[in-house]
Amino acid sequence: MAADTPERLLVEEWRGILAAHARTTCELDRELHAYGLGASDFEVLDVLAEEREGEQVRTFRVQELASRSHLSQSALSRLIGRLEKDGLVTRCMCSEDRRGVSVAITEAGRSRHAEVLPLQRAVLARMLTAQPEA
């Protein structure tokens, strides 16, 4: 039906986005595995490493980090636990709200991030650059 054409194109575009995301995430996981990281691990480190307040390392509340990394709070809490165990991040109580938890990148985390940043960016460039149709 002609009335279904715009809707069908929208669904096809959405499925293309999902497929590109899945392919890119799998490739990132494969490449980052040698460094003990997955795509989500790196994404959290990347958000934490980008933000500084002057010379101070910025801390993020878990809720804010969840929205920036597109992970659920429970998935992010498990991920932060692994990164903390590996010495890449630290957790502490929020100074403004004693119920909240803040996360910051450590020097070891910043070092690991710097080490794998070029690899992650190369994978993104390779996977997300428009390929000519065959």
Q: Round the average pLDDT of the chain to a whole number and report it.
A: 88
Measured distance CA(79)–CA(68) in Å, rounded: 14
Tell me the backbone φ, ψ of residue 56, rounded to 5 degrees.
-80, 140
**Domains within the chain, CATH numbers bracketed:** 2-128 (1.10.10.10)
Residue 58: what pLDDT?
Answer: 79
* Share above pLDDT 70 across residues of the chain, in percent, rounded to a whole number: 86
Asked if residues 97 and 110 have their Cβ atoms less than 8 Å apart, the reply is no
Average pLDDT rounded to a whole number, residues 56-77: 86
Q: Is the pTM of this model over 0.85?
A: no
